[in-house]
Amino acid sequence: QVQLQESGPGLVKPSETLSLTCTVSGGSINSYYWSWIRQPAGKGLEWIGRIYSSGGTNYNPSLKSRVTMSVDSSKNQFSLKLSSVTAADTAVYYCARDFRGDYNGYYYYYYMDVWGKGTTVTVSS
Amino acid sequence: EIVLTQSPGTLSLSPGERATLSCRASQSVISSYLAWYQQKPGQTPRLLIYGASRRATGIPDRFSGSGSGTDFTLTISRLEADDFAVYYCQQYGNSRWTFGQGTKVEIQ
């Protein structure tokens, strides 16, 4: 059973770069897209972006200028960097797997089937 | 970018009642790419429905999804105590995901 675990500093100073890693266990990182999602306290879910196991990326346009994602298949890990952070970037950060399910004759089903437990990142001096 | 608008923001109901949650998209969504998640306080979102109407593994049959195009619905036929939570719809399109803002189902 695939499990995801986020790791990284829980406190980041304003204007610095937030760095998180998601470790995939119980399965391979290969042949999937892997997403980052965040959730400020008491608010909804915001998709940050995703990375394919071979390194291709898609980012949320609202964050694109500050986001960099990378993957290390040898370690079964992928990472997020968010630069120039402010208090507005304080949130719980989740990693998740984008899963392509069965083909229904027209499209494959597509959803996020496995999520990490999330890690809280606070931006404060 | 496709915007998902969920309504109502909060639904106050009693156990045993039926809950109907709406998710409206700003443009047509491919049904195969529309999912619903449940999130309880302090917990990770859990996949309930994918492909607009298909229940994920282990999800009770009191949860059902329907809809197409721009209008989608999550129905909980008879609320149980464990169902009081926040529900999010989500869609994939143009190589990006978007979420609705969530509907909170609370005990009346």
B71-88, pLDDT tens digit by residue? 999 999 999 999 999 999
Question: Positive or negative, the Cα torsion across A92, A97, A102, A106?
Answer: positive
Chain A residues within 8 A of B95 when measuring between CB atoms: 58
β-bridge mates for residue B37, sequence order: B47, B88
Q: Does B102 touch chain A (CB under 8 A)?
A: yes
Question: Positive or negative, the Cα torsion across A92, A95, A96, A98?
Answer: positive
Chain B residues within 8 A of A52 when measuring between CB atoms: none
Token pair of A81 as six digits: 């960097």
Q: Does B101 touch chain A (CB under 8 A)?
A: yes
Q: Average pLDDT of B14-28? A: 97
Report the C-alpha gap between B65 and B56 in whole angstroms. 11
Chain A residues within 8 A of B56 when measuring between CB atoms: 111, 113
> What residues 12-51 of chain B have any CB closer than 8 A to a CB of chain A?
30, 32-33, 35, 37, 44-45, 47, 50-51
User: How crowded is the C-beta side of A80, counted as CA atoms within 13 Å?
Assistant: 32
In chain B, the percentage of residues whose pLDDT exceeds 90 is: 97
Sequence length of chain B is 108
Q: Does B96 touch chain A (CB under 8 A)?
A: yes
Collapse the DSSP code of A88 into the 3-class scheme (helix H, G, I; strand E, B; otherwise coil) and give the result.
helix
Return all residues near B38 (Cβ < 8 A) that are at least 6 apart: B45, B46, B48, B83, B85, B86, B87
Residue A93: name the closest of A14, A3, A1, A7 by CA. Answer: A7
Q: Which of B33, B54, B99 sits opposite A44 (nearest CB)?
A: B99
pLDDT number for residue A96: 98
- For chain A, which residues score pLDDT lower than 70? none
Q: Average pLDDT of B29-56? A: 97
Quote the minimal CA–CA distance from A37 to chain B in Å.
Answer: 10
Report the C-alpha gap between B64 and A25 in whole angstroms. 31
For B90, the closest chain A residue by CA position comes to: A111
Contact B87, B103 (CB under 8 A): yes
Q: Average pLDDT of B62-66? A: 98
Q: Average pLDDT of B59-65? A: 97
Q: Does B99 touch chain A (CB under 8 A)?
A: yes
Residue B56: name the closest of A36, A57, A113 by CA. Answer: A113
In degrees rounded to 5, what are phi and psi of residue A123? -100, 115
Exposed, middle or buried, A73 (CB in 10 Å: 0-12/13-18/19+)? middle
Would you place residue B11 in the very low, low, confident or very high pLDDT band (cuts 50, 70, 90)?
very high
Report the C-alpha gap between A28 and A51 in whole angstroms. 14
Cross-chain residue pair B44–A117, CB shorter than 8 Å: yes
Cross-chain residue pair A104–B90, CB shorter than 8 Å: no
Q: What angle do CA B62, A98, A84 make, to 5 degrees?
A: 120
